[in-house]
């Protein structure tokens, strides 16, 4: 587990850099040029038509820096979730296989555990660190040392609970991003309201263009941030559900394929 952490950290750092590059490239080449074109057309229409009503443009809604930061964080979070999803899928593969060849009705005594431990040790190197082989190995070692089925059952439940807590803690970065996205949206709200107040004197003189544009920044940033946060939290709960099912299925697998065959004598 310790060797995988630098790999995961490097992946997250690389994913962040790629997210920044991709989103910024889209904004520079597509979003902001289109938004500026829409704003120029709207300005001309206001000058030529006294009763002109502006239509909300998607380019204008997402054009500001706060929305860009939200999309960067969203893409980064999706990359991390994808990594967690692949890891969870890899952890689930042994659940569909028979890692221990225990015939139906066979009794496993404490003296027999070494033979079955060798079966687990013979697994490919990429499979041995997975949750299911680790739990089965722990069951055999604990049964050999304690000769108690109750102790084995309790140890299995404790190990699965610890694994569930570890998996949950690894989602902390994604939860932080899910918190940061609406926070950045509120920063845009504060910035937009501040700019609107700074141009209040123009509104008093009859020119409300600057005030309306600044208020648009405030509301658009909050709108995009909240929408992205809702989508991200749904995906987070889905990956968390998959991880919880992995732990529960692993505990059931250990009981079905090994623990129920254990006999003290």
How many domains, the chain? 1
Q: Contact at 8 Å (CB) between 152 and 146? A: yes
Which residues have C-beta within 8 Å of that of residue 257, sequence separation ≥ 6? Answer: 98, 99, 100, 102, 136
Give pLDDT, residue 195.
Answer: 75
User: What average pLDDT does range 20-28 have in this prediction?
Assistant: 96
CA distance 128 to 119: 11
Q: Residue 209 has what pLDDT?
A: 63
Question: How far apart are alpha carbons 77 and 178 in whole angstroms?
Answer: 8
For 211-228, write each residue's pLDDT tens digit. Answer: 667 777 788 889 999 999
Whole-number pLDDT of residue 198: 73
Q: What is residue 226's predicted lDDT score, i.e. its pLDDT? A: 94
Mapped onto helix, strand or coil, the DSSP state of residue 262 is strand
Query: What pLDDT is attached to residue 6?
Result: 80
Domain of 82, in residue numbers: 1-265
Query: How do residues 113-149 score in pLDDT, each as one tens digit?
Result: 999 899 999 989 989 999 999 999 999 999 999 989 9
Amino acid 49: pLDDT: 73
pLDDT on residue 51: 66
The HSE-up count of residue 76 (CA atoms within 13 Å, CB side) is 27
Give phi and psi for 47, each to the nearest 5: -70, -35
What is the pLDDT, as a whole number, of residue 1?
44
CA distances from 96 to 108, 240, 246 (A): 22, 21, 12
- Full-model pTM: 0.85
Q: Helix and strand tally (H, E) in the chain? A: 10, 0
- So what's the pLDDT on residue 2? 43
Q: What percent of the chain has pLDDT over 70?
A: 91
**Higher-confidence residue: 3 or 22?**
22
Partners of 262 in beta bridges: 108
- 77 phi and psi, to 5 degrees? -65, -40
């Amino acid at each position: 587990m310790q060797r995988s952490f630098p790999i995961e950290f490097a992946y997250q750092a690389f994913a962040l850099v790629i997210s920044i590059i991709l989103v910024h490239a889209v904004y520079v080449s597509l979003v902001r040029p289109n938004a500026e074109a829409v704003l120029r057309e709207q300005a001309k229409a206001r000058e030529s038509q006294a009763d002109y009503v502006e239509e909300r443009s998607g380019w204008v809604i997402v054009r500001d820096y706060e929305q860009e930061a939200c999309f960067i964080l969203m893409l980064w979070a999706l990359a991390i979730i994808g990594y967690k999803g692949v890891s969870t899928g890899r952890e689930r593969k042994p659940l569909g296989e028979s890692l221990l060849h225990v015939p139906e009705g066979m009794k496993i005594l404490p003296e027999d555990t070494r033979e079955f431990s060798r079966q687990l040790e013979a697994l490919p190197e990429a499979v041995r660190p997975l949750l299911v082989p680790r739990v089965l190995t722990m069951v055999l070692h604990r049964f050999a040392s304690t000769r108690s089925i109750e102790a084995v059952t309790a140890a299995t439940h404790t190990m699965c609970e610890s694994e569930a807590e570890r998996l949950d803690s690894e989602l902390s970065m994604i939860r932080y991003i899910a918190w940061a996205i609406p926070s950045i949206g509120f920063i845009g709200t504060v910035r937009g309201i501040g700019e609107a107040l700074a141009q209040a004197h123009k509104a008093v003189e009859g020119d409300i263009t600057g005030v309306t544009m600044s208020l648009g920044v405030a509301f658009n940033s909050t709108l995009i941030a909240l929408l992205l946060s809702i989508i991200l939290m749904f995906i987070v709960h889905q990956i968390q559900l998959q991880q919880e099912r992995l732990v529960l299925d692993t505990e059931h697998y250990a009981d079905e394929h090994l623990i129920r065959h254990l006999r003290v004598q």
